[in-house]
Structure formats: structure tokens, C-alpha cells
Amino acid sequence: MAIRVLTILVIGVLFCTYGSALSVLRKKLGATSPSRLSSTIDESYFHRSGPWDCKDLGTLMEANRAWANRMARESPGFFDDIKKGHAPKILWIGCSDARVPANEVIGEPPGSVFVHRNIANQVPNTDVNCMSVIQYAVDVLKVKHIVVCGHYDCGGIRAATELVDHSSPLENWLRNIRDTYRLHKKELDGISDMKQRQRRLVELNVIEQVS
């Protein structure tokens, strides 16, 4: 069975920032290390209220019940359909960035996409987790397409272009991206605008994963 491997760049995503644990991050890095933190963080945004405020996860459970009721109301056969089995047609390898949810960005309902996500959508052959996902998707689920999806303003890409030791294990992971930079160093170094350079690295990083 032939499987199509696709590359997708999700365009127009807002820039990536680190922040759900901003205070913990600052304690770890120290207040004197502003270069380690994004200067674009809007703290009021990260302190906004939401179901995650409840420590016993009660509001998250309520949100799930509300979602289930809405799905049953708007798509009466939805839960009956997903009880029939797990048969997605697509394996989606994407970034962990919360703003790029696989199903939603391609307009597909739950059950149609098998998903593997990590920082900067990497597919290293040394990653047993990723290799297992691909094997299961191809051999068991019989997916028809494998999509590697990157997105502009990726925090992992940006971190890999910083002259900063992000400490292990994150620093080890970023080496994969830095290897891609090294392979395309002449082209990337020729782009003077750092934002545009990072955008090009996003593209090259996706291409490298399926090469």
C-alpha cells in the first residue's frame, strides 16, 4: 500500500511564548537572565481565568461533560460512530504548540487523525516513541497519509537559534534542529532578518523530517 507523506506549514499562527509556569521558569533561570525569556510574554494573558484554575480538576470535568452534551446535540451519531473502532486515515506528526491542534486546523472531527506531537515536530530515527507511532500507524491502523506539520513562530525553532544552553534534556532535543541549521547554514546565514531566518528554518526543518 502506497502512503503519501505530506509536509504542511500552518501559516499565520501567533508567535510562540513560554508561560503557563512563568513564575517557576523565572525562579529556575533567575531574574537576571532576561535573554532566556521571551520579551513578548503578556503576563495578564497567562494569568487569565479558565477551567485549569481548579486544583481538583472539577471544572475540567464539567467542561468535558458540556462538550459531550454539545457533541451529542450537534452530531447525534458521533459517539455511536467512534464506538465502532479506531480507524484514522492520517498520521499527523506535529509540534506540541497548543495553538496547532491537529484535528481543528484541518477541520476533521475526533477519530480521523492519529497524532504524535513533540517540540518542533521532529522525526529523529533515534526516538523510539516516534518510531513506534509510525510503525503502529502504518502496520496496524493502515493510515493512507503521513503529515509532518510545522508552524511559523515555533518556540523550538527560535530556541535552537539562540546562543543559550537551555539545559538537558531540552538542549539535547534542540540539537536535532541545530543539525538542520548546520546543513543549510550558508542559506540561513544569508538571511539578515532573524525572524525571516527562523521562518525559513521552520520550512527546512519540516522538509528535513521527510528527507
Helix (H) or strand (E) holding 205: helix 194-209
Active site residue 26: no
Q: Mean per-residue pLDDT for 155-174?
A: 92
Q: Which residue from 6, 5, 18 is spatially nearest to 153, judged by alpha carbons?
A: 18
Q: What is the Cα–Cα distance from 52 to 58, expressed in whole angstroms?
A: 9
Per-residue pLDDT at 36: 47
> Residue 127 pLDDT more than 50?
yes
Q: What is the Cα–Cα distance from 122 to 118, expressed in whole angstroms?
A: 7
Q: Mean per-residue pLDDT for 53-58?
A: 70
Quick one: pLDDT band at residue 63, thresholds 50, 70, 90? confident
Edge-to-edge strand ranges of the sheet holding 90-95 = 4-10, 145-151, 90-95, 113-118
Active site residue 199: no
Per-residue pLDDT at 28: 45
Catalytic, out of 16, 97, 116, 158: 97
Q: Which residues contact 142 (CB under 8 A, 6 or more apart)?
A: 1
Active site residue 95: yes
Catalytic, out of 116, 117, 151, 197: 151
Active site residue 154: yes
Q: Which residue from 148, 170, 174 is spatially nearest to 161, judged by alpha carbons?
A: 174
Catalytic, out of 26, 99, 166, 178: 99
Per-residue pLDDT at 46: 75
Name the pTM for this structure.
0.76
Whole-number percent of the chain with pLDDT over 90:
59
**Each residue's pLDDT tens digit, 4-42:** 555 455 433 332 323 333 344 444 444 434 344 444 567
Per-residue pLDDT at 42: 74
Question: Would you state the cell numbers that stand for residue 53, as one nine-digit string?
Answer: 484554575
**Each residue's pLDDT tens digit, 82-109:** 889 899 999 999 999 999 999 999 999 8
Active site residue 4: no
Catalytic, out of 16, 130, 149, 154: 154
